[in-house]
């Protein structure tokens, strides 16, 4: 682990792998939509399916994956299973990311559709195209 200019140590490889797996789950627009809905308050699977426009079985499977990853939790209320996010860090992450991209798309300074192309294409270290991340230190 190396210190950077901020004085913070790099996280261990297993922490980075767990973070990558969590971000991988959030890379699905359906699961991200569920996370956004849950960031607004708890809900059962039926109301979530109605809100996001998904089929009940598909929404249930998405919620099961998010729960397994520890991103959402659930509790039983009678016959209903109520889902919620109880980690303030996860709430902040979802709200900031979706909020920033919403603001960008409304101001058209950095259209959201450009991000799809950047995320989808591999970038080599010598890539000088616009939007390619810099690999310089």
Q: Are 92 and 43 in contact (CB under 8 A)?
A: no
What is the tens place of the pLDDT at every residue in 68-118?
Answer: 999 999 999 999 999 999 999 999 999 999 989 888 888 765 555 555 655
Range 45-54 average pLDDT? 96
Sign of CA dihedral 118, 121, 126, 130: negative
pTM, two decimal places? 0.71
């Amino acid at each position: 682990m190396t210190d950077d200019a901020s004085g913070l140590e790099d996280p261990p490889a297993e922490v980075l792998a767990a973070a990558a797996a969590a971000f991988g789950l959030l890379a699905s627009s359906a699961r991200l939509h569920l996370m956004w809905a849950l960031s607004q308050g708890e809900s059962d699977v039926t109301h979530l399916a109605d809100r996001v426009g998904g089929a009940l079985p598909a929404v249930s499977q998405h919620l099961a994956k998010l729960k397994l990853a520890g991103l959402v939790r659930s509790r039983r209320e009678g016959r209903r299973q109520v889902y919620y996010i109880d980690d303030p860090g996860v709430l902040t992450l979802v709200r900031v990311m979706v909020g920033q991209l919403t603001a960008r798309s409304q101001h058209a300074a950095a259209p959201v559709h450009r991000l799809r192309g950047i995320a989808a294409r591999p970038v080599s270290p010598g890539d000088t195209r616009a939007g390619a991340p810099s690999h310089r230190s």
